[in-house]
Amino acid sequence: MKKPYDWQRVQSEEYLLRHWILGQPLSAKMLWNILSDLDWQQAPHQVMVLRWQLDKEAQIFLGDTQKFTIRQHITEIARDYIPQCLQIWQEEDEWISFPHYHSVLNEENLSNMLQAILASLPIPLPVRLFIGVEKVVDTVVQIPQALRLARRAALQAMEHQIQILSVEEMELDLDHCDAPNHHAEKNDDQPIPAWQTHDARETPAISPIVEQAVAYIHSHLQSALTLPEIAAQVAVSRFHLSHLFRQHLQTTVTSYVRSARLAKAAELLANSDKSINEVADAVGMADANYFSKCFRATYALSPSEFRRHKKASIQE
């Protein structure tokens, strides 16, 4: 027999989640009263944000009924894998879930969940799913911040087409190319930080895994070079590779790849007659506008200005 719908529980759950989503503080008494009503003895330890979208190449318009069917299907399958959770659809394409404190979200379980959702879609559509995950550390006060980071991770996962992305491995410098480097002088002789052009042979104490990853990156700069691809080449998880890069190179994998591309671009601009578009393509940044934006943010000069400055320096 189907369990009767508990509207009071649903209202308590939505009330709590809305406060966490909006970042509004709750008194300790109110918080624990609500959690007690929901039969939770502890606050959640993790937060998961799932987003869905149609394949970018699919030119399909979905009506409200179809969108509702997809949301309902995602919720039903996800609840099979996360049976106890506080959950809410914040937007029509964003599902927020706080798993029970006894539940543990790991990459394998989440991957299986995504596969199950896609394999049983009630409407045959080219749907893509993306998840952002964050741990809640220490106190319930940190839950709204954890939620904001998980939502950001889900958006970044969607941007980079990575199915599952934890905040730990998330690139926190998303706006790196949006702000100029005010510390960069307009001087192409300015040395590039060692971590940007790292030669693994010069640092014997560095992790062999990082050495392999760095070597692979520098030999495949013309390729897309996604984090999952690099991690697979060195036979470790994305999480572990991200941790090693931060530990040994004090940067993220994506930031390292970007800096390596730009360093190689600077070399090509100075020592070849390739056009700006050809240089951008040669370093795996086919979008010339994005390439120019990132180059200026790093060197405080546009690619063409950098080339002219370099040639003028040689003539002097």
HSE-CB for 102 with a 13 A CA cutoff: 5
Whether pLDDT at 253 is above 50: yes
The overall average pLDDT reported for the chain is 80
pLDDT in tens, 80-90: 898 888 888 98
Structure confidence at residue 139 (pLDDT): 67
Please report the pLDDT score of residue 214 as a whole number: 94
pLDDT at 211: 93
Give the chain as a DSSP string: -PPPP-HHHHHHHHHHHHHHHHT----HHHHHHHHHHTT-SS--SEEEEEEEEE-TT------HHHHHHHHHHHHHHHHHHS-SEEEEEEETTEEEEEE-TT----HHHHHHHHHHHHHT-SS---EEEEEEEEEPPS-GGGHHHHHHHHHHHHHHHHHHT-SEEEGGGS-S-TTGGGS--TT--S-TTSPPPGGGS--GGG-TTS-HHHHHHHHHHHH-TTS---HHHHHHHTTS-HHHHHHHHHHHHSS-HHHHHHHHHHHHHHHHHHH----HHHHHHHTT---HHHHHHHHHHHHSS-HHHHHHHHHHHHH-
Structure confidence at residue 1 (pLDDT): 43
- Who wins on pLDDT, 267 or 31? 267
pLDDT for res 316: 60
Residue 13: band (very low, low, confident or very high) from pLDDT cuts 50, 70, 90: confident
Query: Closest Cα to residue 261, out of 281, 243, 247?
Result: 281
Q: What is the pLDDT of residues 52-70, one digit of tens each?
A: 988 767 678 888 898 899 9
Q: Judge whether residue 225 has pLDDT over 80.
A: yes
Domains and CATH numbers, the chain: 7-169 (3.30.70.270), 176-315 (1.10.10.60)
Predicted confidence (pLDDT) at residue 222 exceeds the cutoff of 50: yes
118-155 burial, b for 16+ CB within 10 Å, e for fewer? beeeeeebebbbbbbbbbbeeebeebbebbbbbbbbbb
Residue 200: pLDDT band with limits 50, 70, 90 = very low
Contacts of 148 (CB under 8 A, 6+ apart): 23
